[in-house]
Amino acid sequence: MAEIKVVINDPQTGKSYQKVIDTKKLKQLVGLKIGEEFDGGLIDLPGYRLKITGGSDKDGFPMRKGIHTTGRVRVLVSSGPGYKPKEKGIRRRKTIRGEIIAEDISQINAMIVKEGKQKLEEIFGSKEEAQQEA
């Protein structure tokens, strides 16, 4: 069974936290799109409400909003996830993953919309504590 990373961004502090979940919990998220919200209880964050902002599949192809599929497609892009042009006006055909979460997603990026009772630093621990333990 593969592990899936959920990267949780806290817009109030600007910090990001990483949570590894198993594929059983991913099945509850399959079918959700970029921009949709889900309950944090699905990934062991009770009371939190999270919004999906992106992700990538097992081969590293980024998810892109506006592509209504679960698979990969080759599209002509001029900016955004998956392509950064060196000059203005340059377009390129790139392989990009659709916006719908499927079973072969390896990372999901999410942002906190509503906080729970317990702070994220208490749940994950602070960076200084992790460095002192090592």
Residue 133 lies in a domain: no
Residue 131 lies in a domain: no
Residue 7: strand pairing partners: 18, 109
Residue 132 lies in a domain: no
What pLDDT does 125 receive? 79
Residue 20 lies in a domain: yes
What pLDDT does 133 receive? 53
What pLDDT does 123 receive? 84
Which tens digits make up the pLDDT trace of 9-45?
999 989 999 999 988 888 889 999 999 999 999 988 9
Phi-psi region for residue 7, left (φ > 0), alpha (ψ -120 to 50) or beta?
beta
The parts of the chain modelled with pLDDT lower than 50 are: 1, 130-131, 134
Residue 130 lies in a domain: no
Residue-range definition of the domain harbouring residue 112: 3-124
What pLDDT does 131 receive? 47
Residue 129 lies in a domain: no
Residue 62 lies in a domain: yes
CB 59, CB 2: distance < 8 Å = no
- How far, in Å, CA of 90 to CA of 61, rounded? 20
Give the chain's domain count: 1
CA distances from 119 to 24, 42, 45, 60, 122 (A): 25, 17, 10, 31, 5
CB 15, CB 125: distance < 8 Å = no
